[in-house]
Copies of this chain bind each other. A is one copy, B any other.
Amino acid sequence: MASPIVDIHTHVYTPAYLDMLRARKNVPYVHDPANGADSRLIILASDDDAGTALGQRGRPVDASYSDIEVKLAFMRKHGITTSVISLANPWLDFLEVDDAQVWSEKINNDLEETCATVNKDSKSISEVKTLYAFGALPLSAPDPSIIVNEIKRLKTLSHMRGVIMGTSGLGKGLDDAGLDPVWAALEETQTILFLHPHYGLPDEAFGGPEVTQRYGHVLPLALGFPLETTIAVTRMLLSGVFDRFPNIKILLAHSGGALPFLAGRIESCIAHERKFVANGGSTQGPVRDVWTVLNTNIYLDAVVYGEAGLKAAIHAAGGHDRLLFGTDNPFFPPLSEEDATWPSVTTNYKAIEGTLSTDKEAVKAVLGGNAIRILNLN
């Protein structure tokens, strides 16, 4: 029997979520062209260009975004035995205050039901068609206790294995002290948080909107997304989140953005920052260092598309035990219909197998064993 392969980075827009987006006229929203062409999903402000026809804005949203049968076919095609599905960005950040709780419960219940329905025909972890899920949080709710309650409620749903969240938190970033009840609840319930980018960087970072758009989505997706994650987790570190909540567990998308590579520079800059108490300054600054955080609090997916990045990720994580295979499905589909498998997936398979070629057990661990152990998938 082949070893299990677990995809922990695989998104769905649930049917109810897409219907909600269809009812909206502002980002994020879904537009259904009158001519019967694929719906358009407009989730980024930069995609909502008034100069572009509605039917051309954003990206086409086909069945791969919401139909679980398409997800299962993708899994079979790539030998993936288990997927931990998560709502795709922008999750629920944009909801009206009074809608947050209802929608998060609805979507999380839908995810749970999808997993239960699929799994009832599946007898073991090694069969293709096993699903688990990360839940979404009602971050715009009027009181953090509503978020905390949903974190606790998710523990009662048998297929939930954590939560997915963006980098804005309650709207002020992840170094906002207002999030402390959320960190406390995640820590207390030992709920893993899958931290995922959505906003990227402001266009000015790339030279302005004209430069950004000149190269399609390359600059925002290849550089903006990873930096958003890196900035978010660095702000958590600098504000002492990992000191106040030393047992929280964060799974970082895209192998941490650029955190493994920049960790040394971050640590050096902290050590040389006169503003911090440890250096005679007046601001507390972080106590736990970045390497300890990487080896204690952080898990990394292996969605980094090359051995160079994967080597850094493995070293920063203190070994391969904290790395978990993922695909980022349904994003980055093949551009040619002839592709038997998705190059975006096979690139990551090859990077894992190439980097860990001398250690077959390590390859198995990154492809599935680590996820089974860390997310308790048995």
Residues of A at the B interface (CB closer than 8 Å) are: 172-173, 175, 201-202, 204-207, 211, 214-219, 221-223, 226-227, 230-231, 234-235, 238, 254-255, 258, 260-276, 279-281, 283, 285, 291, 304-309, 311-313, 315-316, 332-333, 335, 343-344, 347, 351
Copies of this chain in the oligomer:
2
For A223, list chain B residues within 8 Å (CB). 227, 230-231, 234, 262, 266
CA distance A268 to B333 in the complex (A): 11
A56 CB to closest chain B CB (Å) equals 12
Whole-angstrom distance from the CB of A116 to the nearest CB of chain B?
33
Tell which of A172, A291, A316 has the most Cβ of chain B within 10 Å: A316
Closest Cβ neighbor of A344 among chain B residues: B268
Q: Name the one of B221, B273, B304, B313 contacting A216, with C-beta atoms under 8 angstroms.
A: B273
Known A202-B204, A222-B266, A265-B305; further 6 A-B contacts with Cβ < 8 A: A202-B202, A207-B235, A215-B235, A258-B262, A260-B308, A264-B347
User: Whose C-beta in chain B lies nearest to the C-beta of A291?
Assistant: B306
Q: Which of B227, B235, B261, B347 touches A304 (beta carbons < 8 Å)?
A: B261
Report which of B218, B235, B265, B305 forms a contact with A264, defined as CB distance below 8 A.
Answer: B305
A272 and B204 contact, CB distance less than 8 A: no
Known: A223-B234, A265-B309. A211 touches B304 (CB 8 A): no
Nearest B-chain residue to A273, judged by Cβ: B216
By a CB distance below 8 angstroms, the chain B residues around A268 are: 222, 305, 332, 343-344, 347
Knowing A222-B234, A234-B223, the reply to whether A264 touches B205 (Cβ < 8 A) is: no
- How distant is A51 from chain B, measured CB to nearest CB, in Å? 16
For the residues of A in contact with B, the DSSP-based class is helix
Of all chain B residues, the one with the shortest Cβ separation from A216 is B275
Q: Which of B265, B275, B304, B335 contacts A265 (CB 8 A)?
A: B304
Asked whether, in the complex, the Cβ of A238 is within 8 Å of the Cβ of B261, the reply is no
Known contacts A173-B207, A262-B222, A283-B214: A311-B315 contact under CB 8 Å:
yes
Can you list 30 pairs linking A and B with CB atoms under 8 Å apart?
A175-B207, A175-B211, A201-B227, A202-B202, A215-B238, A215-B285, A216-B273, A216-B274, A217-B269, A218-B238, A218-B269, A218-B270, A218-B273, A222-B270, A223-B230, A226-B258, A226-B262, A258-B261, A260-B309, A261-B262, A262-B309, A263-B308, A264-B309, A264-B347, A265-B304, A265-B305, A265-B309, A272-B333, A291-B306, A311-B311
